[in-house]
Amino acid sequence: MGEPSCSPVLDRSNVETAHGRIKQHIHRTPVVTSKTLSELASTPQPAAALVGTPHEGKKPAQPRIQLFFKCENYQKIGAFKSRGAFHALSCLAPDQLAKGVVTHSSGNHAQALALAARTHGIKAYIVMPTISTPSKIAATKGYGAEVIFSGSTSQEREAVVEDVMKRTGATLVPPYDHPNIILGQGTMALELEEQVQRLVKDDPSLSVHSESNIRQSSHTAVNGPMPPREPSAGHLDAVIAPLGGGGMLSGVATALNGTGTRVYGAEPSFEGADDGRRGLEANERITTVKTLTIADGLRTPVGKINWTVISDKSKVKGVFAVSEEQILSTMKLVIERMKVFVEPSAVVSLAVCLYDEGFRQIVEEEGGKEGWDVGIIFSGGNTTLEAISKLFATGEERAERAEAKIGKDGKREAENVAG
| Phi, psi (rounded to 5 degrees) for 200 | -70, -30
Strands (E), 187-243: 238-242
Distance CA 82, CA 220 (A): 45
Which runs of consecutive H residues, i.e. helices, occur in 203-246? 211-220
Report the distance separating Cα 246 and Cα 402, nearest Å: 24
Residue 165 C-alpha from the chain's centroid: 29
106 in catalytic set: yes
In terms of DSSP H, where are the helices of 321-410?
324-333, 348-355, 357-367, 385-391, 395-399
* Annotation marks residue 81 as catalytic: yes
Sequence-ordered alpha helix ranges (H) in 203-291? 211-220, 247-256, 275-282
Is there a contact between 36 and 336 (Cβ–Cβ < 8 Å)? no
H or E element, residue 166: helix 154-168
Given the residues 76, 81, 136, 405, the one annotated as active site: 81
Query: Which residue of the set 34, 106, 250, 269 is catalytic?
Result: 106
Helix (H) or strand (E) holding 140: helix 134-142
CB atoms under 10 Å from CB of 160, counted, come to 19
Are the beta carbons of 274 and 411 closer than 8 angstroms?
no
In a 13 Å sphere around the CA of 375, the CA atoms on its Cβ side amount to 34
> Annotated active-site positions, please?
81, 106
